[in-house]
């Protein structure tokens, strides 16, 4: 699917939801958009109880969710960011995803939907829960003819760096398979957050609240997108630029 006049840099899958920590990946995507990298995010929600999904986080930030491609195109043109749920993106895929409570487990469609890339973005990124899925994503990207893509074990299965752990990324760059190991960014073990208070997201964005581990997760996630979309020549350069993109965000506005 393409929308005339709309060009997207990053296709960002958001299909897991968060249960242990806030969705810091959303702040990474918004900072990238502010820096000039357009992001189209899509996902499925409500399939697992007790999780916070992207729509809820966007509502807390005062950012509307697109319910049609026309709205998504308008938002991308205005702020370089848009999010749509699978319900509005593809009713058939949404219906199959909704079978999870009946089946008792995820169907292969959960992986297929992540890789749809409906606007034909130049680069697509995925977070997975289980590392054995990583070669599946990489091989599928090659078979689909993707020139640039990346997948890694993300926090809660979302596209979010776990800063306390090394991160292995399975990527495709210029059509060639690539695996790279990224170092941990912080020392120690992060505990589960006691309360997923979504109001903290805006406080972290404005700087009213500081959380170095959260900031590392955000900048580290930005770095992965920069590296495998061809905007950084090395892991070290990507890390440095990721921190700069986050530090230079406009704290007075989100979109």
CA-derived radius of gyration, the chain: 17
Answer whether residue 55 is part of any domain. Answer: yes
Strands 167-173 and 176-182: antiparallel
**Domains held by the chain: number:** 1
Terminal C-alpha separation, the chain: 25
| Angle at CA of residue 251, ends 239 and 13, nearest 5° | 55
Regions of the chain where pLDDT drops below 70: 1-5, 105-107
134, 111 Cβ separation under 8 angstroms: no
Cα–Cα distance measured from residue 10 to residue 81, given in angstroms and rounded to the nearest whole number: 10
Answer whether residue 191 is part of any domain. Answer: yes
83, 65 Cβ separation under 8 angstroms: yes
pLDDT of residue 32: 98
Dihedral pair phi/psi, residue 93, rounded to 5°: -65, -40
21, 154 Cβ separation under 8 angstroms: no
Q: Two tokens at 150?
A: 């990346």
**Which domain does 167 fall in, by range?**
10-247
161, 167 Cβ separation under 8 angstroms: yes
pLDDT of residue 6: 79
Answer whether residue 76 is part of any domain. Answer: yes
Answer whether residue 253 is part of any domain. Answer: no
Answer whether residue 188 is part of any domain. Answer: yes
72, 93 Cβ separation under 8 angstroms: no
Nearest CA among 87, 89, 90 for reference residue 47: 87
pTM: 0.95
Answer whether residue 1 is part of any domain. Answer: no
* CATH for 226: 3.40.1030.10
Answer whether residue 2 is part of any domain. Answer: no
Cα–Cα distance measured from residue 73 to residue 92, given in angstroms and rounded to the nearest whole number: 22
Answer whether residue 252 is part of any domain. Answer: no
80, 38 Cβ separation under 8 angstroms: yes
């Amino acid at each position: 699917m393409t929308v005339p006049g709309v060009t997207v840099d990053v296709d960002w899958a958001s299909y897991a939801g968060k249960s242990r920590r806030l969705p810091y990946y959303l702040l990474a995507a918004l900072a990238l958009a502010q820096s000039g990298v357009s992001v189209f995010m899509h996902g499925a929600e409500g399939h697992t109880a007790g999780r916070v999904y992207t729509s809820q986080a966007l509502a807390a930030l005062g950012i509307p969710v697109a319910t049609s491609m026309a709205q998504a195109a308008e938002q991308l043109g205005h702020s370089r960011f848009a999010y749509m749920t699978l319900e509005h993106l593809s009713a058939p895929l949404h219906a199959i995803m909704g079978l999870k409570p009946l089946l008792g487990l995820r169907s292969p469609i959960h992986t297929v939907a992540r890789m749809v890339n409906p606007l034909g973005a130049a680069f697509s990124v995925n977070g997975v829960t289980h590392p054995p899925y990583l070669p599946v994503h990489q091989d599928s990207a090659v078979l689909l003819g993707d020139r640039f893509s990346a997948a890694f074990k993300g926090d809660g299965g979302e596209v979010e760096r776990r800063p306390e752990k090394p991160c292995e990324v399975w990527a495709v760059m210029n059509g060639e398979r690539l695996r790279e190991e990224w170092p941990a960014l912080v020392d120690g073990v992060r505990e589960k957050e006691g309360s997923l208070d979504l109001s903290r997201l805006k406080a972290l964005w404005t700087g009213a609240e500081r959380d170095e581990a959260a900031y590392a997760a955000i900048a580290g996630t930005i770095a992965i997108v920069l590296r495998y979309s061809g905007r950084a020549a090395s892991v070290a350069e990507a890390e440095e630029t990721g921190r700069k993109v986050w530090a230079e965000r406009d704290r007075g506005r989100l979109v």
